[in-house]
Amino acid sequence: MCKKFITVIVAVAAALTARCSTFDSCSSSPSCCSISPPDVHITGEKTVIERQIIGDYMEIEKDAWTLSSVRTTVGQRNISGKMAGDPELFKYMKIREFHYDKIKEYKSEGAIGETNGGLIQYMETKKYEVSPAEKKILLTVIDEENQARREIFSRSIYLSKGSTPENSEINTFGRAFAEEQRGLSAKGEWIQQNSGKWERKK
């Protein structure tokens, strides 16, 4: 069987459903089973959060989907299986997916940069400075994205250790996420180094 690992962001907390009838009752349909794969958003790279929460999914021939082990790169901790199905995490992942394309557009315009703490920040841009209405929309996207990221950082650590995380733990998680975001940023996008210096990625 041909298997290919791909990375996905799960859009909703829905499991794969398969409905199969008996062989006696499937003569009127081309197949005894109908398979509904999970709603997913495919990306080209894996981030800390994606590996932490979602793990690796395998695309298997005939459109079947199987979930493999959930892993983390933060602190090399083993993550409980309950993390992969946590509704709070999926809610905030859904928010991030909703804003994904718009944030990429803002980044390409130089209007958003990735901070060294794992959040995003508005970078003063003439296009939005002369249009208060457009700038308001941009800032709303930033606020919602940053809230989602903070909640994901905190919730992930909580589910991993079983207790409320300290601010220092959340900050460490955020810095690890920021490091990968710098690596994934496109040429010319704003990134903040650990020193605090902002620069365009070369």
Alpha helices, DSSP H only, in the chain? 48-49, 87-109, 126-129, 132-161, 167-184
Integer Cα distance of 83 and 71 in angstroms: 10
- Per-range mean pLDDT, top range of 35-39, 69-73, 80-84: 80-84
Integer Cα distance of 153 and 15 in angstroms: 24
pLDDT over threshold 90, residue 33: no
Asked whether the CA dihedral 123, 129, 131, 135 is positive or negative, the reply is positive
- Per-range mean pLDDT, top range of 33-37, 112-116, 159-163: 112-116
Position 66 scores a pLDDT of 24
What's the Cα-to-Cα distance from 75 to each of 72, 109, 164, rounded to whole Å? Answer: 8, 34, 17
128 CB burial (10 A radius; 0-12, 13-18, 19+): buried
What share of the chain in percent tops pLDDT 90?
53
Integer Cα distance of 92 and 121 in angstroms: 18
Pairing mode of beta strands 57-60, 3-10: antiparallel
For residue 33, count other CB atoms closer than 10 A to its CB.
12
Mean pLDDT of 94-123: 97
What pTM was estimated for this model as a whole? 0.62
Is 13 in contact with 60 (CB distance < 8 Å)?
A: no
Helix orientation angle between 87-109 and 132-161, rounded to the nearest 10 degrees: 140
Position 86 scores a pLDDT of 84
* 122-162 pLDDT, tens digit each: 999 999 999 999 999 999 999 999 999 999 999 999 998 88
pLDDT over threshold 70, residue 197: yes
